[in-house]
């Protein structure tokens, strides 16, 4: 397994100048490679692969010896990043994302991420040193014992606000961890439904629920951010291409800072919650619904027509799209579970919210409708209903009849109204 650490560094002014010089060389190579791909497609309808562009690097450096100041694998890493960006773009297109855009050219004020893959750096006595030939200024940074004993595979020098390098500098260290596969099916399972008002609604085979409300740091930060943006709109420099006033730039920095704080609070919460969940459950198998966030953020439908610009739609969209990536939370769960010998399994959760967990009848359940009301007498929170259906679906699909019967018995004992049987999807 490969994990990563993010370490803050404090380069001097001379070191920042070196980073800008390296970044400028990387940026030009990136733009040339991007232009090569665009020309090949526009003229020949041909896709250029990474290996083809990598093989052109030696000749490029012979014709342009000034690019020898950059470590050789760094330029290869830049080409890999471009290739990954295209793969991501094509994946979004394949999944029907109409807003997907191909990679763009980088301007001279953009500080590129500088990768060092497997070599070109040395860690010794708590100091990491990077190879370069720009000048005699060493790129050495103190990192203490944060990388001690790690099998480091790649290090990247990044700035969290790359435009004019206004942000903070970090080292992203990727390292390999040897983990033995100690997973075994102990007969205990936990099903998780990821939602809007509650980020997690989980149920185990004992029929006990675990629920966590979605944190809302945006309730604190959004009014401040909106007020700052409103002030910025009245500053000199709002129009594109015009000179930015000092007040405009000061407010823009404040907006960026507040937005980062909001995002960091959500990310920190997701890290802590995922660690708590995988370490405090007896289940070795955790089932997560493979959700569609775009579908969750659809507008309210009334009389067969989507309601545009409604308050309900705006609130739900902020809950799903603006309060932390739910897919990222599943990634946190996955790697933390793997470290301690547990397993995360994703299954299709289609209709788990719409289907009554007791009788199996399908209902129309738009995102704004929070309670399932069924003719059979079932009156249950929509997220709990979905978690139960996810558990039932997994147990039935894997023919775990003993676990299914135990789960149904526990539901019948603690949750089911009298005279109601839990459905099976085979019916």
Where along the chain do its domains lie?
A: 2-176, 189-214+282-414
Read off the pLDDT of each residue in 386-391 and give the average, rounded to a whole number: 92
**Bigger pLDDT: 230 vs 322:** 230
pLDDT of residue 407: 84
Q: Do the Cβ atoms of 96 and 112 come closer than 8 Å?
A: no
Q: Do the Cβ atoms of 386 and 193 come closer than 8 Å?
A: yes
Q: If we measure between CA atoms, which residue out of 271, 403, 394, 279 comes closest to residue 338? A: 279
Read off the pLDDT of each residue in 137-142 and give the average, rounded to a whole number: 94
Evaluate if residue 264 carries a pLDDT over 80. Answer: yes
Evaluate if residue 414 carries a pLDDT over 60. Answer: no
User: Quick one: tokens of 3?
Assistant: 């994990």
Residue 233 CA to residue 270 CA, distance in Å, equals: 34
Quick one: 256 exposed, middle or buried, by C-beta within 10 A (0-12, 13-18, 19+)? middle
Evaluate if residue 84 carries a pLDDT over 90. Answer: yes
Read off the pLDDT of each residue in 390-418 and give the average, rounded to a whole number: 77
Evaluate if residue 172 carries a pLDDT over 60. Answer: yes
pLDDT-above-90 percentage for the chain: 54
pLDDT of residue 387: 92
**Bigger pLDDT: 172 vs 357:** 172
pLDDT of residue 427: 40
**Which residues lie closer than 8 Å to 23 by C-beta, 6 or more apart?**
110, 111, 112, 114
Query: Each residue of 344-381: pLDDT tens digit?
Result: 999 988 888 888 888 888 888 888 888 888 888 888 88
Query: Each residue of 106-137: pLDDT tens digit?
Result: 999 999 999 999 999 999 999 999 999 999 99
Q: Do the Cβ atoms of 22 and 72 come closer than 8 Å?
A: no
Query: Each residue of 228-262: pLDDT tens digit?
Result: 999 988 887 667 767 888 888 899 889 989 999 99
Evaluate if residue 176 carries a pLDDT over 60. Answer: yes
Quick one: 262 exposed, middle or buried, by C-beta within 10 A (0-12, 13-18, 19+)? buried
pLDDT of residue 416: 54
Beta pairing class for 285-290 and 343-348:
parallel
Read off the pLDDT of each residue in 395-403 and give the average, rounded to a whole number: 82
């Amino acid at each position: 397994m490969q994990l990563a650490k993010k370490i803050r560094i404090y380069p001097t002014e001379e070191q920042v100048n070196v980073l800008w010089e390296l970044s400028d060389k990387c940026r030009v190579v990136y733009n040339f490679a991007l232009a090569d791909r665009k020309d090949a497609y526009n003229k020949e309808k041909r896709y250029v692969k990474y290996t083809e562009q990598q093989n052109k690097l030696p000749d490029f450096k012979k014709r342009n010896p000034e690019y020898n100041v950059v470590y050789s694998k760094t330029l290869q890493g830049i080409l890999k990043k471009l290739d990954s960006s295209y793969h991501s773009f094509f994946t979004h297109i394949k999944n029907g994302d109409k807003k997907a855009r191909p990679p763009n050219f980088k301007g001279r004020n953009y500080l590129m991420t500088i990768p060092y893959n497997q070599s070109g750096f040395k860690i010794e006595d708590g100091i990491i040193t990077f190879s370069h030939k720009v000048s005699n200024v060493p790129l050495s940074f103190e990192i203490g014992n944060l990388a001690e004993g790690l099998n480091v595979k790649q290090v990247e020098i990044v700035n969290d606000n790359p435009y004019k390098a206004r942000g903070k500098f970090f080292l992203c260290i990727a390292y390999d961890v040897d983990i033995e596969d100690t997973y075994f099916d102990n007969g205990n399972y936990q099903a998780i439904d990821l939602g809007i008002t509650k980020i997690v609604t989980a149920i185990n085979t004992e029929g006990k629920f675990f629920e966590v409300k979605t944190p809302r740091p945006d309730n604190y930060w959004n009014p401040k951010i909106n007020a700052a943006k409103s002030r910025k709109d009245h500053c000199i420099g709002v129009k594109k291409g015009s000179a930015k006033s000092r007040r405009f730039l000061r407010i823009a920095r404040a907006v960026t800072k507040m937005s980062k704080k909001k995002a960091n609070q959500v990310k920190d919460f997701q890290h802590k919650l995922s660690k708590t969940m995988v370490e405090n459950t007896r289940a070795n198998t955790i089932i997560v619904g493979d959700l569609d966030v775009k579908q969750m953020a659809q507008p309210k439908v009334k009389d067969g027509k989507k309601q545009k610009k409604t308050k309900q739609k705006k609130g739900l969209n902020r809950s799903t799209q603006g309060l932390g990536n739910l897919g990222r939370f599943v990634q946190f769960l996955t790697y933390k579970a793997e470290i301690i010998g547990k397993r995360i399994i994703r299954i299709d959760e289609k209709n788990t919210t719409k289907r009554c967990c007791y009788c199996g009848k399908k209902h129309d359940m738009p995102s704004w409708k929070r309670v399932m009301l069924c003719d059979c007498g079932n009156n249950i929170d929509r997220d709990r209903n979905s978690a139960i259906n996810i558990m039932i679906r997994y147990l039935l699909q894997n023919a775990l009849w003993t676990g299914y019967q135990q789960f149904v018995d526990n539901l019948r004992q603690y949750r089911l109204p009298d005279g109601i049987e839990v459905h099976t999807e085979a019916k």
